[in-house]
Chain A
Amino acid sequence: MTVLANAMWGSRAYRWWMAALYAAVAAGVLLWLRQWNQGLVLTGMSRDVAWGLYVGQFTFFVGVAASAVTVVLPYYLHAWKDFVRVVILGEMLAIASVVAALLFVFVDLGRPDRLLNVLLHPSPSSLMFWDLLALTGYLALNVILARAALAGPPAAWNRALILVSIPWAVSIHTITAFLYAGLAGRPFWLTAAMAPRFLASAFAVGPALLILLCRAFRYDAGDEALRKLRLVMTYAMTANVFLALMEVFTAFYSGIPGEAAHYSPWTWLSGGFMAAALALALGRSRYAPAAVFASLAIDKGVVLIPAGFIPSPEGAVTPYIPTAVELGIVLAIWCAGALLVTVLFRVAESYNRRSCPHHPS
């Protein structure tokens, strides 16, 4: 744990950054206490739009968590040695993202004090039950793997866990897609392309975020690793945009009224962002990782969930406008995730310095 303790200290800028994150998290806790006290009436959700930003952000962060597989799989299964320094970052990012995803579920509940009912009264027909199991299992796996990776070269049991973690990562996002894709009454989500598209967008977002974090933390991942991350991001983003277009085709060519009705200016705007981000990635722009990350954070984290509820099954169009309280809580959970990422990345960095004394950094 001394590694962890060292990670908490650093330069002046670092201390300010941490202080700001702590302050944002504290503000979020206060806002959440208000929400707990007065109810979810403080959010922009309604009878018709029963899920909003919280569930959207949950979905997005499950994707970021699953994306660790984009570095774990090439490194361990295909021996891409270039990823030697990013693979630990991928695992750290997965830990922070699962925590953020679980926090988003928590703040969305009307009665969070009863959360344990999910385990006390297990309901195998509910995908939410399976999703919570998969997520907590994935969190445990990654904590074990990251700790083992810091301790030294992988032991045999450790390798077995790594092999388990790969399909497990795919499963968490598939189950999360199944939360929505099996609901007969919600045509916007009722599509077999939901899980594949979730995975494609996740595998674009993860590498994009890793590139951004390496830049932000001045973490030397190696040029070849960065180049390969970019490649994975570009292919995955292409697959994601392709699948999105498939959805558009079916919705509009079939002419079924309930299908096309869910495409609003917001969905088109978000689709436009994704297309622009893909164009930047294909053009090898320096801004591509930021654009890919932002466009997918919007598409999955903001647009996808409310769009499924508007119009309602009875055709009512109830707009969803998040409130300041809701935005504050979302921001606080992002900051909690950033806090975790900062600490965990420092741990990874100090570990790298110790283990590679000749590394030019």
Chain B
Amino acid sequence: MRVVAAYALQESLRRRVFTVVLILTAVFLALYGWGASLAFDEVTTFSGEGEQGNPVDAEVVTGSTIFGLAMFSTLFLGAVLAVFLTLSAVRGDAERGLLQPLVVRPVGRTQMLAGRFVAAAGVCAAYVGAVYVVAMLITGAVGGWWPDRVLEPGLALASAVVVIAAIALLGSIFLSATANGIGVFMVFGAGLAAGLLGQIGEALSSNRLEDIAEVTAWLLPFEALYQSGLDALTADARGFTDFAVQLGPFGGADEGGPLLWVWAAVYVGLIGLAARAGFARRDL
């Protein structure tokens, strides 16, 4: 498995998509830094007027809102990376004749799959972690705002892209590259839509909508993880500040609790079992 993982890792880093994502990331982080400094400037002038008796902490609202946006962008870029690194892992590669010479070697198919997953998940998690840290440092340096929890949101984001990589790898066993890519992005979009639905539900006080959103978020735990990460940003905010915080697009922040982490791990495990069974039966 280690040989396969090392090979897949090397392959990932050589893919054009990796370079593209790195460039996009640099552009995004530069824009983010610029935007954040503008936002904090505005807020300082605004909150300077009535310092006394203002129940809303403008810095917290601005920082968490803008950083929530950064979290979303990070998740999106991480998802792009996760999908493109795995979308053709099995069927796509088999159609091009890349997979057969490897599968014929005395390495179990399960190990083959595990190696690819470890490599893709590792690359994506490391990438997301790095972008998260840089965005946090930028926010801190520019506006002096730091998230209430430093580690948890980053971990949640990294886990979310690992879940997406697992879904895409499973899809790659049954679908050709293009179909799988489209499919996984639709699933990703469905998760985001569920988050949006939850927000609307909250605004309308519709329990029904909120329930649907919550079930979907747990069915697609990358969404629940993302929401839980958002929530951890302002875990200590109380009262009006908490109310005023509008975190990121597509995500009524919602604390997942420890159960979510367990569920995410089980979820990836179940996907692994399904992938293993599917790959074992597949003619190449």
* Chains A and B form a bound pair: no
| Residues on B facing A (Cβ under 8 Å) | none
| Residues on A facing B (Cβ under 8 Å) | none
